[in-house]
Amino acid sequence: MPNASFGRLAWLWLSVLVLVIDQASKYYFENALSLYQQIIVIPDLFSWTLAYNTGAAFSFLADGAGWQRWLFALIAVVVSAVLVVWLKRLGRD
């Protein structure tokens, strides 16, 4: 059973922290690296490379004319709305 003392506000702040770290790391790497430049973290095992994916997972729909961005945005909005409605109906325990 989850710890009741870890309330909703703590989850909100954790979400904000993750969002800030995500955006800060994106800003840093876009300004520190040129396209396809690598930073080797662990030789022969792990490196960071700046690349852009214009599609979805593994460049799925990357050759589309731009409509795929709106499709995925619509899917995200619908899923978010369904989750909000579901959580509202769930109520408090």
pLDDT tens-place string over residues 11-27: 889 999 999 999 999 99
The pLDDT-based confidence of 93 (bands split at 50, 70, 90) is low
**What pTM did the predictor assign?**
0.57
Identify residue 38 by its one-letter amino acid code: Q
Residues 6+ away with beta carbon under 8 Å from 63 = 55
Can you give the residue ranges of every domain in the chain? 1-52, 56-93
Report which of 31, 34, 64 is spatially closest to residue 50, judged by C-alpha positions.
Answer: 34
